[in-house]
Amino acid sequence: MDVIDSRPYDLLIGESWRAGAEGRTFDTFNPATAQVLARVHEASAADVDAAVQAAHAAYETHWRRTTPAHRGKLLRRLAELFERDREKLAWIETLNVGKPITHSLDSLKGMPASLEYFAGIIPALRGETIPVGNVDVLNFTIREPLGVCALIMPWNYPMTLTVNKLGPALAAGNTVILKPSEVTPLSSMALARLFEEAGFPPGVINVVNGPGATVGERLVTHPLVSRVSFTGGTVTGARIQAAAAADVKRVTLELGGKSPLIVFEDAPLDKAVAVAAGDLIKNSGQVCIACTRLLVQESVREEFLGLLQQRLDAVRIGAPTDPATEMGPLVSAAQKQRVEKYVGLAAEEGALPARYGQMKLEADTARGYFVPPTLLLNSHARMQSAQDEIFGPVQSLIGFRDEAEALRIANDTRYGLAAVLYTRDGGRALRMARGLQSGSVAINTGLRTSFDAPFGGYKQSGIGKERGLEAIYENTQLKNVKYDTTI
């Protein structure tokens, strides 16, 4: 399927698609072949300023006054267009990110429903009357949009995360500046054209491409930007929070994770193994909520390991365009280097790296950024490889003796994004759920995010919530009004 433009991809500023003011471009790659996939225009500081001005003007002149019903209608129309072009968007994602096409199609399946959900919950943005002590005073609240929102995207799920940020921001009545990752910008650019086709007014959605150190920083510090939503690494998130603090901007951060999969001796091991293998294979482990620490009770550790190794040995690794492929490449040469560095570090720390899978690389994929599924055997909780987010197909296998030790090891990390546990003991499940320092906990099932349920982390995994009703609240401010009825 021919889905990639041969011309350089433009910026979207106001009503016009255009090149950057300084004429710079950058390359984006196909990670399966290490070949240039497309060229993209890079925004300058002046371009960012122009995009913010366009968004601010659209917000002040009409978008903030658009009726909830009309905003919902536009989002529903966008959902229809997304469904129409879903296969095309999935192929763009596969070529630019390296996901197997079956994975890309599956990950985009729920996006139209996500847009329809946010269109449907717009009426929930209502205030309330408050019975204060003075009966002559009518006290009520109003939820209002924030204004211009900067949405800074990661490279691992560009389309899914773009939809889940744009939906609630626009539903609440904000205008947006979208900054895709410079590593994987193409699907977000294609999505922006659907917004135009759906009938969103010029300036409501703007797209600026380029590095975070220049384009992202300019957005975060711009005085007309009221809110910053960022998904990415914890170090970058901390810098964004510090930069946004100068203007006391609203900030939502969805950051790193080092999620545990906790397997007790009474667990259905086949189901727990399926989750462990799936988290290692899916998007080559480049998933923030992936369980990268396997905490297995000592009495079933060897049985669990044997089942997991059997599954990983059969993983088909190769060209992501092949429907038979289960696991594709990492997103970039830099990411492959990072992952290999951590595998080497784990070995130096005393772990035993073990690699699996059936690598089938043809001539065009021989230089791709492939790394096979890797287990770090003989790991312990305080190894750096078991503490840092590697963001690749690498898991540390760590044993535990009892419930108390499992909880201690699970919480022994600076992250707190998600956790999964398997046990048939209902009391233990609820005790663990209460004790785990994680924004999301899944019991006897894998953890897949849902557009209609809140998502966000504890500790250094982030601030605020995305998805669900909480996401639309994150995009509003609450005003209290007191009205003396005696005058």
Domain with CATH 3.40.605.10 in the chain: 11-255+461-481
**184-196 confidence digits (pLDDT tens):** 999 999 999 999 9
Residues 120-145 have pLDDT tens digits of 999 889 999 999 999 999 999 999 99
- Give the confidence band of 253 by pLDDT, cuts at 50, 70, 90: very high
pLDDT above 70 (res 199): yes
Average pLDDT, rounded, for the chain: 96
Beta bridge partners of 39: 27
Look at residue 1 in the predicted model and tell me its pLDDT. 67
pLDDT at position 361: 84
Q: Which residues pair with 463 in a beta bridge?
A: 253
Domain with CATH 3.40.309.10 in the chain: 260-443
Statement: residue 49 has pLDDT above 70: yes
Express each pLDDT in 276-324 by its tens digit: 999 999 999 999 999 999 999 999 999 999 999 999 999 999 999 999 9
Distance CA 316, CA 361 (A): 10
Backbone angles phi, psi at 333, to 5 degrees: -65, -40
Class of domain 11-255+461-481: alpha beta
**Over 80: is that where the pLDDT of 215 sits?**
yes
What is 260-443's CATH superfamily? Aldehyde Dehydrogenase; Chain A, domain 2 (3.40.309.10)
Average pLDDT, integer, range 73-96: 98
Q: How far apart are CA 23 and CA 346, in angstroms?
A: 44
Q: Which residues contact 233 (CB under 8 A, 6 or more apart)?
A: 255, 256, 389
254 is a catalytic site residue? yes
- The contacts of residue 462 (CB under 8 Å, 6+ apart) are 237, 252, 253, 254, 255, 417, 439, 456
Inter-residue contact 399 to 374 (CB < 8 Å): no
Query: For the segment 381-422, what is each residue's pLDDT rounded down to a tens digit?
Result: 999 999 999 999 999 999 999 999 999 999 999 999 999 999
Model confidence, pTM: 0.96
CA distance 275 to 261: 8
Q: Active site residue: 42, 93, 182, 254, which one?
A: 254
Largest CA distance in the chain: 83
